């Protein structure tokens, strides 16, 4: 059985989980804080189209995909193709309301290809940059 690399990042916000969800799935709001103004359509079969930074790389990472399941304010699961390097991944966003904060957990599963782990390591810092922008955005509201 092959090893499947993955990326797993968890961030806490002072905003309630509903605000975090809306910041990610409301197209107009999303465009105000995401670096490229992409979008996530939070419905089964909906489209994902994003550009994420790749620190220390010349080109950003382009993500396109289809939403395969939605549980509002709780979870989004999306099958994604990432360019460059043509990596197919599964992106899971898990939203949780904690006692005084909310948490967003991003899990990106790779494949058992030899380059998958390298690609996901490169993506980690890009996700951190984007999540820092989300944190700033939520603090402004």
What's the pLDDT tens digit per position in 31-67? 999 987 789 999 999 999 999 887 777 888 899 999 9
Give the model confidence (pLDDT) of 72-95 as tens digits: 999 999 999 988 888 888 999 999
In degrees, to the nearest 5, what angle opens at C-alpha 113 toward C-alphas 108 and 114? 105
Q: Which domain holds residue 98?
A: 6-140
Give me the number of domains the chain comprises.
1
| CATH number for the domain that contains residue 116 | 3.30.530.20
Residue 89 maps to a domain: yes
Kindly report the pTM of this predicted structure.
Answer: 0.91
Residue 1 maps to a domain: no
Taking CA atoms, 115 is separated from 78, 79, 91, 111, 135, in Å, by 21, 18, 18, 9, 31
């Amino acid at each position: 059985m092959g090893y499947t690399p993955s990326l797993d990042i968890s961030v806490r916000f002072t905003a309630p989980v509903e605000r975090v969800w809306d910041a990610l799935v409301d197209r107009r709001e999303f465009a105000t804080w995401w670096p490229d103004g992409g979008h996530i359509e939070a419905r089964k079969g909906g489209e994902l189209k994003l550009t994420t930074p790749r620190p220390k790389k010349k080109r950003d990472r382009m993500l396109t995909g289809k939403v395969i399941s939605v549980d509002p304010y709780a979870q989004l699961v999306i099958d994604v193709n990432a360019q460059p390097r043509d990596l197919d991944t599964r992106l899971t966003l898990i939203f949780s309301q904690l006692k005084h904060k909310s948490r967003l957990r991003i899990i990106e599963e790779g494949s058992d290809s030899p380059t998958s782990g390298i690609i996901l390591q490169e993506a980690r810092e890009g996700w951190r940059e984007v999540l820092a922008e989300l944190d700033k955005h939520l603090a402004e509201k």
